[in-house]
Amino acid sequence: MISPLLLSLLLPTRAEERVLPAPPPVAIPFEKYQLDNGLTVILSEDHSVPFVQVNLWYRVGSKDEVDGRTGFAHLFEHLMFQGSQHMDDDYFVPLQRIGAQVNGTTNLDRTNYFEGVPSDQLPLALWLESDRMGFLLPALTQEKLDNQKEVVRNERRQRYENTPYGEVWVWLYENLYPPDHPYHVPTIGRHEDIEAATMEDVSAFFRTWYVPENASLSIVGDFEPDTARLLVQRYFGDLPRGGSPQAIRQHALPEGWLSTEKVVEKTDDVPHSKVWLAWPTPPLFQPGDAELDVLSTVLTDGKESRLYRVLVHEKQIAKDVSAFQASGALQSAYVIQATAAEGHDTTELVTAIDQVLAELRTSGPTAEEIEVAKVGWRVDFFSGLQTIARKADLLNSYDTWTGDPGYIGQDLQRYLDVTPQKVQQAAVRWLPADQRVVLHVRPEGGAR
């Protein structure tokens, strides 16, 4: 939420037109090069703190799995911390001993691993990452695989099946996307697929995707570039190439796939009735993506936003409401979520939401709403440069999706170029009332 004081400084008043200095360009200085084996390397010096971030992205996510073998990308997020040929132990142990911040994440489109270490420990972080890239399989045993399969299945139970509203994204995505679409199954995978995974299955998956030419390594922080280049060459330079994994899995949503409204009703062990409205929308960085992000700000950012004002304040039929563009490499999803207030039902919420959306499709947002949203997005972009961890991840993200680690300025410009007319056009094009999924989740035994 942007403070009124900040808005008064950044937006012109009616009485006078403020003349503001042009904001500084948003940028992350970097150097990019490639090893002979295809590994992309991105270096960015930042001596503000005696720390360095090592951030490794593999261009593999759950979208790259095949039917009957789901959950493999996330399974490897776990297996990659179980030891490799030359460090056959828990990877957290040597890193946490030196005060490192270490973890990994997986989503539909990519997997990343990252370590924030004291500057003098850069060699250790690079050695560990290179060893599991090049020598994970010799240390992979049936016992490790069986153990992590059970860990992943327990994670699915805890995060999805035994958590209130935990299966919402399962229900949404299996209705938003057809069965053969890469986003149809959540990143966690299916129980039966994880249980059936064999050593041969997971080894083949690793050899396909976890190869130098399918990865990008960013190093950000307190280091000397010449030293970093030598270390990268020493630890990664001799790792062999794999195949051409980038060309294996591409998929576009069939035109007209969601031609009608799909209403899904679920009862579960949840405290309140909630509703989700979801539409398939354009992929990350494509026309309409930024406009829908800005629309989310207009709809639900702050107490004066359109949906919050109508549903929570004026009608008092909702406890909360939020909207967001969940951007993906192949396809995105625009989602509006609301919780029914006591004495009200989710069908009432859908009617009220539709009235607000209909007004936006007809008249569009105001110029002031768009300018306020732009201020918020500009602040978000600059705030994202405050930590070396965030910068390391941004460099890899932009390189993966655009081929340019320095794309942040162009990314911000997408938002600065948004107009009320463009947002209105995006709402008309991508959020039709009759081509969406509406998911109602109500408490077992009646609404609360």
Confidence of residue 12 (pLDDT cuts 50, 70, 90): very low
Q: What is the pairing mode between strands 318-326 and 332-340?
A: antiparallel
Tell me the domain boundaries of the chain. Answer: 32-247, 258-443
Which pLDDT score is estimated for 15?
39
122: nearest Cα among 200, 207, 210, 234:
234
**pLDDT value, residue 106:** 96
The whole-number average pLDDT for the span 306-320 is: 97
Return the CATH superfamily for domain 258-443.
Metalloenzyme, LuxS/M16 peptidase-like (3.30.830.10)
Do 434 and 261 form a contact (C-beta atoms < 8 A)?
Answer: yes
Q: Which pLDDT does position 258 carry in this prediction?
A: 86
The reported pLDDT for the residue numbered 6 is 42
Res 14 pLDDT > 60 = no
Buried b (16+ CB within 10 A) or exposed e, 200-217: ebbeebbebbbbbbbbbb
Q: Which CATH class for the 32-247 domain? A: alpha beta
pLDDT in tens, 326-350: 999 999 999 999 999 999 999 999 9
Give the model's pLDDT for residue 16.
43
Q: What is the pLDDT of residue 255?
A: 63
Provide CB contacts within 8 A for 235, sequence distance 6+: 123, 126, 127, 129, 130, 131
What is the spatial distance between Cα 72 and Cα 196, in angstroms, rounded to a whole number?
11
Band the pLDDT of 18: cuts 50, 70, 90.
very low
DSSP character at residue 87:
B
Query: Is the predicted pLDDT of residue 17 greater than 90, yes or no?
Result: no
pTM over 0.85: yes
Whether residue 62 is predicted with pLDDT greater than 80 in this model: the reply is yes
- Summarised one tens digit per residue, pLDDT across range 157-179 is 999 999 999 999 999 999 999 98
Residue 25: predicted pLDDT: 80
Query: In this structure, what is the dihedral angle of CA atoms 43, 47, 53, 56, given to the nearest 10 degrees?
Result: -10
> Per-residue confidence at 7, pLDDT binned at 50, 70, 90?
very low
Same fold, 32-247 and 258-443: yes
**For 252-287, what is each residue's pLDDT tens digit?**
676 677 889 999 999 999 999 999 999 999 999 999
Long-range contacts of 311-315 (CB under 8 A, 24+ apart): 311/338, 311/349, 311/352, 311/353, 315/352
> Helix axis angle, 408-416 relative to 388-402, nearest 10°?
80
Q: Mean pLDDT over all residues of the chain?
A: 92
Q: What integer pLDDT is reported at residue 1 of this predicted model? A: 43
CA-CA distance, 349 to 318, in Å (whole number)?
A: 7
Predicted pLDDT of residue 382: 92
Strand partners, 439: 264, 276
N residues, the chain: 448
